[in-house]
């Protein structure tokens, strides 16, 4: 704790020597000042709550759970069921097949709907893929690509499928118009 020197001008913290040998000046202290070392550390509410005893002063920790259970059971007019029996009864109320049937129906309906893109957009996307494939093929033929990656080879292999899909979409587009 800091000791203060009294002077005609007020309270002072006396001059002191630092560990390196230099001297600190005497400092004037106002009324109500508490030095930093003496300020109590902040404790959060959670820490304070954790330090607080759970049982009343003098109560035996062995007896405490028994009295708590007895207190909870003495509510008049309350039916107390076995906790394990109550938990088992809930899942049995709704059979599993009743829940799965509507879900399966919904998934079948969604699968049948097929959320397709606009055919024009899909055509545009497929044509872009064909252009990319042709660019890869030309690089392969010219020798620019000596070691093509697996993805690039797969793209080139799918060119026939993509052209067939383009033909189908163009046929659909002509029948719609």
- For 24-61, write each residue's pLDDT tens digit: 898 888 888 877 777 888 999 998 888 887 787 888 88
Q: How far is CA 76 from the centre of its chain?
A: 44
Q: What is the pLDDT of residue 99?
A: 57
Give CA 20 to chain center in angstroms: 51
Sheet of strand 10-13, all strands in order from the earlier edge strand to the far edge? 5-7, 10-13, 27-29
Residue 58 DSSP class: T
Whole-prediction pTM value?
Answer: 0.35
Structural domain boundaries of the chain? 119-176
Q: Contacts by 67-70 with C-beta closer than 8 Å and gap 24+? A: none
How confident is the model at residue 84, as a pLDDT? Answer: 56
pLDDT tens digits for 103-118? 677 666 666 555 566 8
CB atoms within 10 A of CB 23: 9
The confidence score (pLDDT) of residue 90 equals: 53
């Amino acid at each position: 704790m800091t000791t203060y020197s009294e002077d005609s001008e007020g309270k002072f913290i006396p001059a002191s020597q630092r560990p390196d040998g230099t001297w600190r000046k005497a400092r004037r202290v106002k009324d109500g000042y508490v030095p930093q070392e003496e300020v109590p550390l902040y404790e959060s509410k959670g820490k304070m709550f954790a330090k607080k005893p759970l049982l009343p002063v003098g109560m035996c920790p062995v007896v405490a759970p028994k009295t708590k259970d007895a207190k909870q059971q003495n509510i008049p007019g309350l039916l107390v069921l076995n906790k394990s029996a109550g938990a088992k009864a809930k899942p049995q109320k709704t059979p599993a097949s009743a829940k799965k049937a509507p879900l399966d129906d919904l998934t079948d309906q969604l699968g049948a709907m097929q959320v397709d893109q606009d055919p024009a957009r899909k055509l545009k996307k497929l044509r872009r893929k064909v252009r990319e494939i042709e660019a890869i093929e030309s690089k392969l033929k010219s020798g620019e690509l000596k070691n093509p990656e697996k993805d690039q080879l797969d793209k080139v292999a799918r060119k026939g499928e993509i052209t067939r899909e383009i033909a189908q979409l163009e046929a659909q587009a002509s029948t719609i118009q």
